[in-house]
Amino acid sequence: MGQNNSNIVISSGFTAILLLLVVLMSISIYTIIENNKSISDILEKQKDSEDIFNMRDAANHRALYLYYMASLKDPFEQDDIFLLFNDEAVNFINSITRLRQGTKNAEVFEDVEKIGQLANIGSKVQNEAIELIRNNKIEAAQILIRNKVTLAQDKVMTGLTTLYNKQQARLNLEISKIHTKNKATFLMISVVGGFAILLGLLIALYVYRHNHKTLLNIQQQRSIAEQANKSKSHFLANMSHEIRTPLTAIIGFSESMLDANRNPIEHHKTVKTIVRNGKHLLQLINDILDVSKIEAGQLQIERIDTDPLAVLNEVESIVGAQAREKGLHFNVNVQFPIPETFKSDPVRLKQILINLCCNAIKFTETGSVTINTNYRPQENIFSFTVIDTGIGMTEKAITKIFSAFTQADASTTRKFGGSGLGLTISRQLAKKMNGKIKCISKPNQGSQFFLELHMETNISTHLIYEHNYNEKDMVQSFNPNQTPKLSCNILLAEDSPDNQKLISMYVNRTGANITIVENGKQAIEKTLIIDFDLILMDMQMPVMDGITAVTYLRETGYDKPIIMLSANTLKSDLDHAAKIGVDEYIVKPINLNYFYQVLINYAPTQKKALEYQSNLEPPEIADGMQKLIQKFILSLPEKIKLLNTAYRSLDWGNLTTISHNLKGTGGSFGFHEITNIAEKINRLSQQKIESDLKKYVNELNNEIEKILLKHAA
């Protein structure tokens, strides 16, 4: 921002200087043009003055020649002088003609006309005197010259002298104007030029100060970077310890499992230890990836309907057991009323609360960890407070705990371990979710972490006034100890032998048939001869990768579900997978609970979905599931109405959002056809492709109408 402001100031300054130079040049050019005009006028007036002078000179010479002729006796000498007398007449006529034709001054023209009239009168008298001289009447000619010619000559000479003086006065006035203009121009050029120079000096001073400030900032940033490098070096050293610790346990206990003489109890404990350390290692890696995404600006936040009680239930199910294993009480208190749902990212909200609760459990040896929840409608704020009775911390320590790669102090790291990333990630997530996290703590008195989320305004919020968040009908979750029973053919394309064995074991437990190939090319070949109900496709394989294989299958008309398996977690990978026709995306290492849930959603089961759920789980969970299914069915008319409205107006954004919602929820409640059709609509709407869209929208309308008629009967 500072650099942009600096560039604006410098650019504006140089632009101003350039404008001043343009003004300066314009003034100079204008002055030159005006001076040229004035000089042209002066030259014209000077020519007029020369003609006036020539007329006066010619009139004077004619008078002298006439006097001289009157004094001569020799006729030949008189003829010579007469020729000269006539030449001066020609000069006079030429000059007065030029004045009449060339002058642009009306006053000069009028004066010239008056002089011309006087000259005509004088010329007649002179001609009379010439006739007397040529007839040898010298005395009569001399008398005429004295009495009339001289008088007429004086009038002509007086008029010409007056006209000449006027013309000279005009010339002097024009010259004076030029001098005045030049002085004004010089003053203006001096002012503008001086201002340009001053502005240039100010810009130079600004650039110097800015560069000096930038240099200081660079030095400060270098110092910060050096400190950050120290923190990261400390972090890497800590991570080395944190990663090696679970790896040592995983490798050691895995090697011990090779002993065929181990008893079942020890074997079970060993497996639990490996799983626990594996999950711990995965959490460390996820934290590092989250920080990397946040720093790269690639972390995406959803804004979907979020059930706060469902989130609290999931948090309690995950961290409550940890607290109780440590001998701590774990409580969740809800101050009603609260919104039934609000727009947020439930996954990230759960991640923040789990981070805060796990931290509280880690630093609490005895006592309790409590989550207090309330809603402040006046401020439109949803608040979650995590309170522990742990070791607490100082004010100085509080200022450090939200910085990446740091904990309260080195002794904390040594004693309790951890990456020092959890609170950093939580604060950044809260900020992206239009919220904030703050902390109050005192040494040996426990800590309180406050998460406050600002909800969207102008949204009608339905409040609930009582609810037991522990009821199992709040969240439909799959129990990994109860394996689903499937009756289908599954194709697995996976190049890793270990992953082949692991996934085969998972699938074989369900009763489904599994065929294994090692690359995408083999997968395509198998689909040509076997009608698979579902494909599990690894993304990165030799010969042909999963992306290429899925693209080919979809382009050739394969419409059965395809599940992508990959260790890549970037949103761009998930988006690309959905774009080419992948129905679901499972991130490695595979979460067994989620894996089975995906199979339930996409693979055919032995019985109908509702019957299967009833047989699979206890009656109270089945009742809760039935309620959720009924609620979903009741919401279908509104959902399809919104989708139809978005389709008619080609509102691609809403069409993508609504179809994505139906795609994700339909199969979860046993309506797989809704998911299949909505997925096609979602794919087309993401690419803004109108062809075939009407077909799938009509199919979805028909499918929902059948569901509504069936359940209304």
Per-residue pLDDT at 513: 93
457, 547: one domain: no
Task: Provide the domain limits for residue 191.
Answer: 2-195
Calculate mean pLDDT across residues 410-438.
73
186, 322: one domain: no
- Who wins on pLDDT, 232 or 80? 80
Is this structure's pTM higher than 0.75? Answer: no
Is 246 inside any structural domain?
Answer: no
9, 117: one domain: yes
Q: How many domains does the chain have?
A: 4
Q: Which residues contact 463 (CB under 8 A, 6 or more apart)?
A: 337, 338, 339, 340, 375
Is 280 inside any structural domain?
Answer: no
587, 665: one domain: no
How confident is the model over 164-199, as pLDDT tens digits? Answer: 788 778 778 878 877 887 787 778 788 877 877 888
Across-strand partners of 373?
Answer: 334, 384
How many Å apart are CA 177 and CA 173, to the nearest integer? 6
Window from 306-315, 413-422, 427-436 with minimum mean pLDDT: 413-422
Per-residue pLDDT at 479: 46
How confident is the model over 408-419, as pLDDT tens digits? Answer: 454 444 444 455
Across-strand partners of 306?
Answer: 342
How confident is the model over 437-458, as pLDDT tens digits? Answer: 999 998 988 899 999 998 875 4
Dihedral sign (CA 218, 223, 224, 225): positive
Provide the mean pLDDT of the chain.
78
Per-residue pLDDT at 411: 46
CATH for 558: 3.40.50.2300
Per-residue pLDDT at 701: 93
Calculate mean pLDDT across residues 102-128.
79
Calculate mean pLDDT across residues 627-650.
84
Q: What are phi and psi of 197, to 5 degrees?
A: -65, -45
Per-residue pLDDT at 352: 92
Give percent of the chain above pLDDT 70: 80
Per-residue pLDDT at 617: 40
Residue 492 has pLDDT above 90, yes or no: yes
9, 92: one domain: yes
Give percent of the chain above pLDDT 90: 15
Calculate mean pLDDT across residues 122-145.
82
CB 199 within 8 A of CB 9: no
- Who wins on pLDDT, 620 or 61? 61
Calculate mean pLDDT across residues 75-89.
82
132, 57: one domain: yes
CB 583 within 8 A of CB 666: no
* Listed ranges 30-44, 176-190, 599-613; the one with the highest mean pLDDT: 176-190
Across-strand partners of 450?
Answer: 385, 438
Q: Which residues contact 165 (CB under 8 A, 6 or more apart)?
A: none
pLDDT bracket for residue 476 (50, 70, 90): very low
68, 169: one domain: yes
446, 582: one domain: no
Is 294 inside any structural domain?
Answer: no
CB 160 within 8 A of CB 55: yes
Is 234 inside any structural domain?
Answer: no
413, 494: one domain: no
Per-residue pLDDT at 589: 60
pLDDT bracket for residue 618 (50, 70, 90): very low
Per-residue pLDDT at 622: 41
639, 619: one domain: yes
Per-residue pLDDT at 616: 37
Last residue of a domain, one of 594, 629, 663: 594
